[in-house]
Structure 1
C-alpha cells in the first residue's frame, strides 16, 4: 500500500510527528490503539473522520520505517 498521500509530516503540527491526512491524529496514536487491543472497527467508530485506508497507511508507514531502520543497521 502507498501511504505517501495519506501520511503527512508538518513541523508545526503535533511536533512534526507523522499524522493522517494533515489531521492531528498521529500514526503513533493509531498504532497504540491497535497494540492496546482496539479493533479497526472500534477505531473507525471512535474517529468517524478516519477510513480503513488511513489505518492501513499507518501500518504500511510503520513497516516501511522499521525496514529502513533495519537496513541502516546492516
Structure 2
C-alpha cells in the first residue's frame, strides 16, 4: 500500500467514485487542475481549509503513481 492510499480514497457514490482526498469531496483531478492553472499550494490550502499540505503531496504522489502504472501498461 502506498503512502498516498491513506490520504486518497475512492468511494462509490462520492463524486462518482473518483479519487478524492480522504474525508472530503475534493477530487485528485480538482487539486491537479488548480495547481496546473497556476495556483500555488498555499493558495489551494487557503481556498480549501479542509486540505493540509500532506494532502497535496498525496495528490501529487497518487498522480505520479497512476501515470507510472499507465505507462507500464502501454510499454508491456
Confirm or deny a common fold (TM above 0.5): yes
Q: CA deviation at 1:22?
A: 3.0
1:41 is matched with which residue?
A: 42
Q: 4+ residue stretches of structure 1 with deviation over 4 A?
A: none
Query: What CA RMSD, in Å, does the superposition of the two structures yield over aligned residues?
Result: 1.0
Q: Give the TM-score taking structure 1 as reference length.
A: 0.96
- Secondary structure, in 3 states, of the residue corresponding to 2:3? coil
Structure 1 residues not aligned, in runs of 5+: none
Q: Figure out how many residues of one structure are paired with residues of the other and give that number.
A: 74
Structure 2 residues not aligned, in runs of 5+: none
Higher helix residue share:
2
Q: Give the TM-score taking structure 2 as reference length.
A: 0.94
